[in-house]
Amino acid sequence: MTKNILFLSGTRADFGKIKALIQTVKDLEGFEYQIFITGMHLLKRYGSTHKEITKSGFQNIHKFINQHIDEPMEMILANTIHGLSRYIHENRPDMIIVHGDRVEALAGAIVGSMNNILVAHIEGGERSGTIDELIRHSVTKLSHIHLVANEEAKKRILQMGEDKKSAYVIGSPDIDAMKSDDLPSIFETKKYYNITFENYHIVMFHPVTTEVEHFKEYAKNLVDALIESNENFIIIYPNNDHGTNHIFYEYKRLEEDSKFVIFPSIRFEYFLTLIEHAKSLIGNSSAGIREAPIYGVPSINIGTRQNMRYKSPSIIDTDYEKENILNAIKKVDSQTKRHPSCEYFGNGKSTDMFRNLLKNSDIWEQSAQKIFVDIEE
């Protein structure tokens, strides 16, 4: 009997994680896929990134607008549960695959678990130190299958009472793309986005919801440091968490400055190429913790958003003060060689392991009725 898998995507970031997995299902005999697109993908402000999914050649796509600009996260969660619930009652899958720690993933896990549909969670068991961590661990408790990046994440999932038979270490799926020979060249990438810089830094700075009252100051400090550094920067819009308007307000100061180019979003493969050739990645995005270290590219990690994450030697931590951010940029400029590639989050073989899991009957025999498994003394 054909197995039908529903992939849920709410952001440009999680689509990059699941794209190769969708392609794996598409190519696998006896399997079908559906894609439920929602979240930032449907917002014009963030580049209408649902178009990237369509351009990837995928079909069986359902679009659901779950928010308007500045809508509270709890409302986005409720809206997503409502829309996805109605969808799965008409198009019931055998499995729902969610990624990470966004509210869309939480909605997918809630809907799946409440309807006795297997939920597979990608990259659970990790720490971040913000509200994202609470969401990620909540998704873990609502999921039946855990596709984690490494043994440390698996250990945390077992610590939360999950069955060891439900946890599989497959690495981060986007590393498969990072290590492939199919990425566009830096020449093609710069031409496509009309980037004229020879050397540049990438900036990705997101609000921290537990510090939102300070983010007007933090965003100003960052922009002041960038301007004073006299370097070239590619800036990518922040996510839509509460406080993002403070960042947008400061970015307006850069719109006429020739040393800055600002994009709502960049297509995944082009984004990887830009990271690989960047002088550094600056901000508080998980891309500075995961993707940049894989290429040996320095990261300047600002503030608390990634506090509890694994830190590669290529990462420079700093607080929100302008002078300290500026000093970190100068430190990057003084480095003469790249760091060794970090393989903490995987080695580029996630799709092979994912394919083998789908073909193994054990994963489909996983019970939708979960129990808490005590840790053996």
Question: What are the tens digits of pLDDT across the range 12-59?
Answer: 889 989 999 999 999 999 999 999 999 999 999 999 999 989 988 999
What is the pTM assigned to this prediction? Answer: 0.92
Name all domains of the chain by residue range, CATH numbers in brackets. Answer: 3-177+347-364 (3.40.50.2000), 186-334 (3.40.50.2000)
Model pLDDT, residue 287: 95
Express each pLDDT in 84-126 by its tens digit: 999 999 999 999 999 999 999 999 999 999 999 999 999 999 9
Model pLDDT, residue 21: 97
CA–CA separation, 227 and 230 (whole Å): 6
Model pLDDT, residue 139: 98
186 is written with which tokens?
Answer: 């830096």
Give 226's contacts (C-beta < 8 A, 6+ positions apart): 203, 233, 254, 260, 282, 329
For the cut 80, the answer to whether the pLDDT of residue 129 exceeds it is: no
For the cut 70, the answer to whether the pLDDT of residue 201 exceeds it is: yes
For the cut 90, the answer to whether the pLDDT of residue 170 exceeds it is: yes
How far apart, in Å, do the first and last CA atoms of the chain sit?
42
Model pLDDT, residue 70: 85
Q: What's the whole-number mean pLDDT along residues 191-204?
A: 97
- Give the residues across from 145 on adjacent strands: 120
pLDDT band of 128, cuts 50, 70, 90: confident
Q: What's the whole-number mean pLDDT along residues 214-218?
A: 96
> Which H/E stretch holds residue 118?
strand 118-122
Residues in the chain: 377
Model pLDDT, residue 377: 62
Q: How many CB atoms lie within 10 A of CB 372?
A: 9
